[in-house]
Amino acid sequence: MARNKKKPLPLLENVTIAACAAEGKALARVDDKVVFVPFVVPGDVVDLQVKKKKKSYMEAVAVKLHAASPLRTQPMCSHYGVCGGCKWQCLRYEEQLKAKQQQVYDCLHRIGKVELPDFEPILGSAKIYGYRNKLEFGFSNKRWLTEEEVRQDVKYEVMDAVGFHITGAFDKILDIEECMLMDPINNLIRNDIRQYALSHGLEFYDLRQNCGLLRSLMIRTSNTGDLMFLVQFRIDTPEQQKQADDLMLHLSESFPQITSLLYVDNHKANDTFGDQEIHVVKGKDYIYEQMGDLRFKVGPKSFYQTNTEQAYELYKVVRTFAGLTGSELVYDLYTGTGTIANFVARQAQKVIGIEYVPEAIEDAKVNSEINKIDNTLFYAGDMKDLLNREFIEVHGRPDVIITDPPRAGMHQDVIDAILFAAPQKIVYVSCNPATQARDLQLLDAAYKVEKVQPVDMFPHTQHVENVVLLVRK
C-alpha cells in the first residue's frame, strides 16, 4: 500500500501584514486563519511561504516584499534576519514602543482582568544601539551556514565560530563579526580572539562531544570605565593549560582597557558557571557601576540590569511608586545584588532583601557598605522556602513589598506569604507581563492595581519591563 504523500505547503501571495505579535513576530489573517511571520512589520505586502500549518494557525516566512510599510526602517545590523536576536530592527522605534505598550495592556487586561485607571505611556530608551553592558558569546566547531552559503554548495575548510547560538540548533553558532547592542569594544575583542585562536590552532568547543578548549566568553562594560572579560575554557591537558595561559596573556597585553580579566575551567555539559571557581588573571573579580549617587559592585556571577541608563529610570519609577516617607519597613524580593534595596534604602526605615544566589547577596551587603547604607539586611535562600510566616513574624510585617521575580513569576507559596504579610503597597517589577498578570489575578482578592508603568529596557526586541503599584483594598 502506497504511503500518503504530504500535500505541499501553500504559497500565500500579496498578503498584508496586520499587526505585531508575540515572540517578535508579526501576524496576518488569511482565510480565517492567523499566520505568524518573522522579520516583517504591519503594513508590509508580501508573499508568504507557509512552513507549518495547524488547524487554527499557520507559520510562514516572507519570500517577496511587494510593498514596504511606512512603519518599516532599514536594519543596522549585517546579521539581521539570521541572528534572530533583534527581530524588530526593521520596525521604527516609536512603533516598537506602541507594540510593547499594547502587549502590556493586553496581558494585564486579558490574563489579569486588571482595570487600568492610570496606565502611563511607556518609557523609551535613550539609546537604541550600544545600550547593553553585558554580552555572552559561544564558541563552536560547527559554524552555522547561512542559506546563501548552503546554496553555494562549497566545502568550507574552517567551520569554527564565535558568536550567538542559533535557535533550534543547540550545537551551531552563528559567527558574529559585529554586534551593535554593546560598545564596539565587544567586536574588537571577540574578533581578535577568533583570529588569535585560528592562527594558533586553539580548539573550538564541540557541544555534542563536550570537548574543546574554547567554550564561551562574557564581556561586561560599565559607566565607570571598568571592563570585565571572562573566558570559559575546558582544560584537559597541560598543553591546553598553556594555550589558555598564553591567550589570557595576549588579551592582557592587547587590551589594556580590560580592568578585570578572568577565566573559568568548566568541564560540565553546559556553560553555567555559578558553581565554578573564578581565576583572576588581571585586576579584581568585579567592576563598579554608578547609578545616581550610588555605586554598585558587580561580579561575574552577579545579576545586574543590562541597560544601565534605563535601569536608573526603571528604579526611579519603583521608588516613586513605593512613595516612602522614611518610616517604612520594606521587603525587596529577588533583590539580586541589592540594587533596588539600596536605591530606596535612604527613603525607608529598613529594607530587607532576599535572593537565591549567595554570591549576589554578598555583593548586596558590600554595596550597602560602599554607599554607607546601614539600614539594610540581606538573606540568601529559595524565596518560597525563606519567605514564610516565621520569617515575617521575626522581622516584622512590611509596609511595602517590592518584588522583581524572574520571567516565570512568583511561586504560589511566595504569593501566599505576601498575602499573609499584608503590606499596604506592593511594587511589582516584571520582565514578563503575562506571568505578572497571572500573579496580579492571584493577588486580586486583597489588592487593586493603582498604577502601571511599562519601561523599554531592550530596544529592537519584543521584551518589555513593567512596573505595577498595588494597594490594599
How would you class 181 by CB atoms within 10 Å of its CB: exposed for 0-12, middle for 13-18, buried for 19 or more?
Answer: buried
Q: At what angle do helices 412-421 and 433-443 cross, to 10 degrees?
A: 50
Q: 329-333 and 350-355: which strand pairing?
A: parallel
| 424: Cβ contacts below 8 Å, ≥ 6 apart | 399, 400, 471, 472
Residue ranges in 255-378 assigned as alpha helix (H): 308-322, 339-345, 358-370
C-alpha grid cell, residue 299: 561580579
φ/ψ of residue 62, rounded to 5: -80, 130
Residues involved in catalysis:
431
Look at residue 433 and give its three-state secondary structure. helix
CB 397 within 8 A of CB 387: no
CB 312 within 8 A of CB 292: yes
Q: Which of 182, 18, 3 is nearest to 85 (CA)?
A: 182
Alpha-carbon span 248 to 204, nearest angstrom: 16
Residue ranges in 180-296 assigned as alpha helix (H): 185-199, 238-254
**N residues, the chain:** 473
